[in-house]
Structure 1
Amino acid sequence: MLLPRAMWAAGFAAALWFATIGAPTRAAEPIEIFDAHLHYNWEPTPTYKLDEVLALFRKHRITGIIATSRPNTGTHALVDAKADGLEVVPFLRPYRVRADIQTWFGDPAIFDLVQQEFKRGYYRGIGEFHLSGKAADTEWVKKTVDFAVDHDLYLHAHADQEAVEILMRHNPRARIIWAHTGFGLPTDRVAAMLGKYPNLWGELSYRGGIVDGAGKLTTEWRTLFERYPDRFLLGSDTWVPERWASYGDIMASYRAWLDQLPPDIAAKIAHGNARALFASR
């Protein structure tokens, strides 16, 4: 016996409803991250092969990177890879070997390296480089800062507050990404630096105090992010193989506190601010 049309329609709707509620819910895709502090060091060859690194980016939804390396060979490899779905922003590192960290700011040969490497034509910044206090106040650092300004390059500085102040004094038009945002510098002093220097952005790898012992975003950092939502970036700082081995954990820890922010602010810090900085010239 055929069911009346109305009864058939009601039965079909009920079956569809049960099928819907019984189907597994697809998890929301994690927020994309632009890794604004990445090293793919070659001394003389990398611990992780290029395809392994690119696979990590895909697995953890990394859609952009600031690519640096020591020497710059690893950066060349990342640029040449032309990986789908990955924006590679190359920065020129003023190091040939690890020992240059301690001496580059007084070494004229490093400035020669900067000028020669820049001729590749694709660099968007210089760094990450290390400076502490008055070590920033040298002829060769000033030459590097002026070179960056003249060629529309960002500076990525692993520096204390005094060194950042000196960099800005060298050339007020300098644009600086502050690696680690002062490490443990109190948030009121971070806020004062951001207020004083509109061309200063804080990168948050190794930055302490953002969350409490329970993983909750602290009131001080929530306030700072809400006050300066356009001024922060995220980074992995893969300076040693162990950081590559824990890459997924690093990104998960970022996403844990990003989830505690309003979605628009979280998106800016996760990827939007970096995209805005490196939009096509």
Structure 2
Amino acid sequence: MRTALRCIVVLIALAWTGGTAAVAAEPIEIFDAHLHYNWEPKPYYQLDEVLALFRKHRVTGILATSRPNAGTHALVDAKAEGLQVVPFIRPYRVRSDIQSWFGDPVIFDLVQDEFKRGYYRGIGEFHLSGKSAENEWVKKTVDFAVANDLYLHAHADDEAVEILMRHNPKARIIWAHTGFGLSTDRVTAMLSKYPKLWGELSYRSGITDGAGKLTAEWRTLFERYPDRFLLGSDTWVPERWASYGEIMASYRAWLAQLSPKIAEQIANGNAKALFAEKR
């Protein structure tokens, strides 16, 4: 009798699902728009391990940078199936260039030489603070980017971002970390003032509360500007590679609290739109 009852329950369940077993939905795909595959002095993971990590965590696109640029070359040359690689020129040879690149004409030569490879889509991530962005070599870099249809990936405070935009109003900037702890009011003002500014959200504080709930301020910001945000891992040190899965899981946790459409835009749609293949 119990066996017969179980059979009836199974038949009802199959009829309810159209005759097939219910399959758990795949995790939302993510475009990692802030990735470093640094080769100084050596990569934390070998190339095959990196590509396997992307597949494991359903990362289908990367904004690829490295210090020096050899790591980016390797990612491009791998031509991994199912992975869109968007290479950016990093204006650094070694870590100390972070403090001096913006005043060094040799770095501008490096940017121009790298560009000759023919596949780059942007310059950065580079670091700038306040009025250091007023340097003539920074302006040359911004103008070079605009002239060659390149994005800029700036780790900068809001003052430096404003200066970059003044250098050339046609500049297109991906704002690494979206100002870190800058108020949402100020972020809103920046996005409103500069239509060609996108916020990348690695290390960005205040998006969720202590319990992992999306804050009202950030929900409002995402709903107002659903097409202006990107996700990133910022694998600048080995610890970020080691916790790559946790970083992606933390994004998916608060993306699930948004509407599916907005979640998809932030997770991958905005990056795909920005970096669509050139015709």
Of residues 93, 109, 129 in structure 2, which corresponds to 1:112?
Answer: 109
- Counterpart of 2:119 in structure 1 is 122
Q: Is the 8 A contact 2:208 2:214 kept in 1?
A: yes
Shift of 1:28: 1.1
Per-residue CA deviations over 1:68-96 (Å, capped at 9, x if unaligned) read 00000000000000001000000000000
Q: How does 1:1-281 map onto structure 2 within 5 Å? A: 14=8, 17=11, 20=14, 25-281=22-278
Measured in 2, the distance between the counterparts of 1:227 and 1:15 equals: 46
What is the SS of the residue equivalent to 1:180?
helix
Measured in 2, the distance between the counterparts of 1:235 and 1:43 equals: 21
CA pair 15-210 structure 1, distance change in 2 beyond 3 A: closer
- Partner letter of residue 55 of structure 2? R
Measured in 1, the distance between the counterparts of 2:248 and 2:206 equals: 17
Shift of 1:120: 0.3
Measured in 2, the distance between the counterparts of 1:53 and 1:280 equals: 23
Measured in 1, the distance between the counterparts of 2:89 and 2:208 equals: 32
Measured in 2, the distance between the counterparts of 1:64 and 1:78 equals: 11
CA pair 112-25 structure 1, distance change in 2 beyond 3 A: same
Q: Which runs of 5+ in 2 are unaligned?
A: none
- Counterpart of 1:5 in structure 2 is none
Shift of 1:152: 0.1
What is the SS of the residue equivalent to 1:260?
coil
Count of aligned pairs between the two proteins: 270
Q: Is the 8 A contact 2:44 2:241 kept in 1?
A: no
Per-residue CA deviations over 1:214-263 (Å, capped at 9, x if unaligned) read 10000000000000000000000000010000000000000000000000
Q: Is the 8 A contact 2:230 2:266 kept in 1?
A: yes
Greater mean deviation of Cα atoms: 212-221 or 38-47: 38-47
Mark the structure with the bigger radius of gyration.
1
Task: State the TM-score, normalized to the length of structure 1.
Answer: 0.93
Per-residue CA deviations over 1:165-201 (Å, capped at 9, x if unaligned) read 0000000000000000000000000000000000000
What is the SS of the residue equivalent to 2:271?
helix
Measured in 1, the distance between the counterparts of 2:261 and 2:44 equals: 37
Q: Which runs of 5+ in 1 are unaligned?
A: 1-10
Q: Which runs of 4+ in 1 moved over 2 A?
A: 13-16, 18-21, 23-26
Measured in 2, the distance between the counterparts of 1:91 and 1:179 equals: 13
